[in-house]
């Protein structure tokens, strides 16, 4: 029987990063994956394919709506070749998954394909696709089994017309009308893809605003821009039934006043969150307690109730984000190696990759109000930047929230062109506990979108923004 220092179940961004860090630290490591490709949700049916489709559809949108004003004449009809778009997406996915395989080889990590389940707290059995099974021994085990789409109890996901993100990433036709249940990250990113490709898109959100966990100013601005782009957004709507009738899906919901509203579409994307995935793990055999909705409870060292078994990523509490899973993968490897790592969960950024992009780190204004913090706000609109006018991306703003007494930056909220990348400046500043004055005094290259960060910091230090 093979024996390892660490065995990792699941090869998503949590699992494969944990494996690399374990190997770097000299630990003999194996990783188990039930699918034939590595990379988990993120690489196969999440971050990477969704961004590939967002980028492709953005090119199309630019071609049909913006090329003319830039003086680019593309005479003749511009058409979408969905098959080619999907082919390109699949090729991006497979190149990225192959990259993870390469990294496993490079770091001498054993990859075992099959479903991993606990035999006891130090043994994992792998049921392979060919019907064989193998049991391996491990001093430490990391559960990194991720998550699956959640649904509502009354919805029958037929995966043809009533679909999850996984099917929405590989549709064979452009829907005439797509209803999206859930105005969160998945609903808006994939809703925007199909809206650009020509579908009518209607979003139905239960809360009183889209992206309800982010700062309310971001929700308002994104809602405004989406309406301009032709998306139908219905907030404060409680979906109560979803029925398929032939090629049609009929959705009934109660609006804010309790009146029933009916929606009809040819596709319905259910994007109401994801649930931790522990099916088939046989965690009981190891004595690992599985908590509410399948989530594994961990302590501050990401240890389960069984000392040598850890859990990371979407299967534990916190934001279901690839970079959060990666940080936890590194963290656990270092804990196992005897180090004392640290993660500041307040500084894990959140990003929505629509256009305009949305990004945030730290506290929202609503959270600061609720906590009774004496805060100040500095805000700068993208439209006042030379760079934004040059590219034509004038929607959005940067908003910086500071402690009114100390000037320390407590939260940064952005919407606009390339803010997915800009948020890293805010994370860096906050990791070093910067004040708004610190950011305001740093030179920001001109002309860049990043100048909005400097200007918002100037505004936060006392109305010192210069270009407005």
User: Residues comprising the binding site for NAD(+)?
Assistant: 182-189, 205, 273
Task: Compose the 345-384 pattern: x for residues touching ligand NAD by CB under 6 A, - for all others.
Answer: ------xxx-------------------------------
Annotated binding site: 51, 116, 145-147, 182-189, 205, 273, 314, 320-323
Question: Which residues ranging from 301 to 330 are in contact with ligand NAD (CB under 6 A)?
Answer: 319-321
For ligand NAD, give the closer residue by CB, 267 or 380: 267
Q: Which of 331, 278, 276 is nearest to 302 (CA)?
A: 331
Q: Which of residues 426-465 bind ligand NAD (CB under 6 A)?
A: none
Q: Which of 111-119, 265-273, 333-341, 439-447 is the region at the interface with ligand NAD (rule: CB under 6 A)?
A: 265-273
| Span near ligand FAD by CB under 6 A; candidates 34-42, 218-226, 301-309, 359-367 | 34-42
- Indicate which single residue of 280, 386, 392, 462 sits in contact with ligand FAD (rule: CB under 6 A): 280
Least distance (Å) between residue 37 CB and ligand FAD:
8
Retrieve residue 352's tokens: 């929505």
Contact between 314 and 41 (Cβ < 8 Å): yes
Contact call for residue 322 and ligand FAD (CB under 6 A): yes
What does the alpha-carbon distance between residue 109 and residue 20 come to, in Å, rounded to a whole number? 8
Residue the block writes with tokens 């009738």: 245
Q: Closest distance between ligand NAD and the C-beta of residue 421, in Å?
A: 13
270 binds, among ligand NAD, ligand FAD, none (CB under 5 to 8 A by kind): none
> In the chain, what are the helix, strand and coil shares in percent, each to the nearest 5?
35, 25, 40
| Degrees, nearest 5: CA angle 272-209-401 | 115
Hey, what's the torsion of the CAs at 414, 418, 420, 423, to 10 degrees? -60
User: The dihedral of CA 367, 369, 374, 375: what is its sign?
Assistant: positive
Quick one: 135 or 406, whose CB is closer to ligand FAD?
A: 135
Distance in angstroms (rounded) separating the CA atoms of residues 393 and 281: 48
* Closest CB 11 distance from ligand FAD, rounded Å: 5
If contact means CB under 5 to 8 A according to the sort of partner, which of ligand FAD, ligand NAD, none does residue 276 touch?
A: none
Asked whether position 286 contacts ligand FAD by CB under 6 A, the answer is no
List, as own/partner pairs, every contact residues 343-350 make where C-beta atoms lie below 8 angstroms and the sequence separation is at least 24, other chains included: 344/431, 345/318, 345/319, 347/427, 347/430, 347/431, 348/318, 348/319, 348/321, 348/323, 348/324, 349/323, 349/423, 349/424, 349/426, 349/427, 350/213, 350/214, 350/319, 350/321
SS3 assignment, position 264: strand
List strands edge to edge, sheet with 397-403.
Answer: 350-352, 357-362, 409-416, 397-403, 375-381
Interatomic CA distance for residues 148 and 277, integer angstroms: 6
Selection from ligand FAD, ligand NAD, none that 272 binds (CB < 5 to 8 A by kind) is ligand NAD
**Using rule CB under 6 A, residue 15 touches ligand FAD:** yes
| CA proximity to 226, closest of 350, 354, 398, 62 | 354
Give the C-alpha distances (Å, rounded to integers) separating 8 from 138, 162, 377.
9, 34, 44
Contact indicator for 427, 437 with CB cutoff of 8 Å: no
325 in contact with ligand FAD (CB under 6 A): yes
Vertex 446: Cα angle to 441 and 449 (nearest 5):
90
Q: Rank residues 270 and 456 by Cβ distance to ligand FAD and give the closer one.
A: 270
| Known catalytic residue at 444 | no
> CA-to-CA distance for 10 and 41, rounded, in angstroms?
10
Q: Of 330, 300, 299, whose CA–CA distance to 27 is shortest?
A: 330
Q: State the minimum distance, in angstroms, from the CB of residue 38 to ligand NAD.
A: 20
Query: Least CB distance from residue 124 to ligand FAD, whole Å?
Result: 9
Binding mask 139-178 for ligand FAD (x = CB under 6 A): -----xxxx-----------------x-------------
Q: For residue 188, which phi and psi values (nearest 5 degrees)?
A: -80, -40
Residue closer to ligand NAD by CB (options 207, 335) is 207
Minimal distance in Å, beta carbon 307 to ligand NAD? 29
Q: How far is the CB of 16 from ligand FAD (least distance, A)?
A: 8
Q: With CB cut-offs between 5 and 8 Å by kind, which of ligand NAD, ligand FAD, none does residue 13 bind? A: ligand FAD
Q: What's the DSSP call for residue 440? A: H
Please enumerate, by residue number, every residue annotated as part of a binding site for FAD: 51, 116, 145-147, 314, 320-323
Distance of alpha carbon 438 from the chain centroid: 30
Compose the 266-295 pattern: x for residues touching ligand NAD by CB under 6 A, - for all others.
-----xxxx---------------------
| Residue number with CB closer to ligand NAD (203 or 452) | 203
Catalytic residue among 59, 70, 301, 446: 446
Residues forming contacts to ligand NAD in the complex (CB under 6 A) are 152, 181-187, 189, 204-207, 212, 239, 271-274, 319-321, 351-353
**Catalytic residue set:** 446
Residues forming contacts to ligand FAD in the complex (CB under 6 A) are 9-15, 32-35, 40-42, 46-47, 50, 115-116, 144-147, 165, 186, 277, 280-281, 313-314, 320-323, 325, 353
């Amino acid at each position: 029987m093979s024996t390892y220092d660490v065995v990792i179940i699941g090869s998503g961004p949590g699992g494969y990063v944990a494996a690399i860090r374990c190997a770097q630290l000299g630990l003999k490591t194996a990783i188990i994956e039930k699918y034939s490709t590595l990379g988990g949700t993120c690489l196969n049916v999440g971050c990477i394919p969704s961004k590939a489709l967002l980028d492709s559809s953005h090119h199309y949108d630019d071609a049909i709506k913006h090329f003319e004003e830039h003086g680019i004449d593309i005479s003749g009809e511009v058409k979408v070749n969905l098959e080619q778009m999907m082919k390109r997406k699949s090729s991006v996915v497979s190149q990225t998954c192959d990259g993870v395989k390469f990294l496993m080889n490079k770091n001498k990590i054993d990859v075992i394909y099959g479903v991993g389940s606990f035999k006891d707290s130090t043994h994992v059995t792998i049921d392979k696709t060919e019907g064989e099974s193998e049991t391996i021994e491990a001093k430490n085990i990391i559960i990194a089994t991720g998550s699956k789409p959640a649904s509502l109890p009354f919805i029958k996901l037929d995966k043809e017309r009533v679909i999850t993100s996984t099917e929405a990433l590989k549709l064979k036709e452009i829907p005439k009308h797509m209803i999206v249940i859930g105005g969160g990250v998945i609903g808006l990113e994939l809703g925007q893809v199909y809206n650009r490709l020509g579908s009518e898109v209607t979003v139905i959100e239960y809360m009183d605003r889209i992206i309800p966990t982010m700062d309310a100013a971001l929700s308002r601005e994104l809602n405004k821009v989406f309406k301009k782009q032709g998306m139908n957004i219905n907030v404060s709507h409680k979906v109560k039934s979803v029925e398929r009738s032939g090629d049609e899906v009929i959705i009934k919901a109660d609006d804010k006043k309790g009146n029933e509203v009916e929606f009809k579409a040819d596709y319905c994307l259910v994007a109401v969150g994801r649930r931790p995935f522990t099916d088939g793990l046989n965690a009981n055999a190891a004595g690992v307690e599985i908590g509410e909705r399948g989530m594994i409870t961990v302590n501050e060292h990401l240890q389960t109730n069984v000392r040598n078994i850890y859990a990371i990523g979407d299967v534990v509490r916190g934001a279901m984000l690839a970079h959060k899973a990666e940080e936890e993968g590194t963290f656990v490897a270092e804990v196992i190696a005897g180090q004392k790592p640290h993660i500041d969960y307040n500084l894990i950024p959140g990003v929505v990759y629509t256009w305009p992009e949305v990004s945030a780190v730290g506290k929202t204004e609503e959270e600061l109000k609720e906590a009774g913090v004496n805060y100040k706000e500095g805000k700068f609109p993208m439209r006042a930047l030379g760079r934004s006018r040059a590219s034509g991306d004038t929607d959005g703003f940067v908003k910086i929230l500071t402690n009114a007494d100390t000037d320390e930056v407590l939260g940064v909220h952005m919407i606009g062109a390339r803010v997915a990348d800009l948020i890293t400046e805010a994370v860096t500043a906050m990791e070093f506990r910067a004040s708004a004055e610190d950011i305001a005094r740093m030179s920001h290259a001109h002309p860049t979108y990043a100048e909005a960060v400097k200007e918002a910091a100037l505004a936060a230090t006392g109305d010192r923004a210069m270009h407005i």
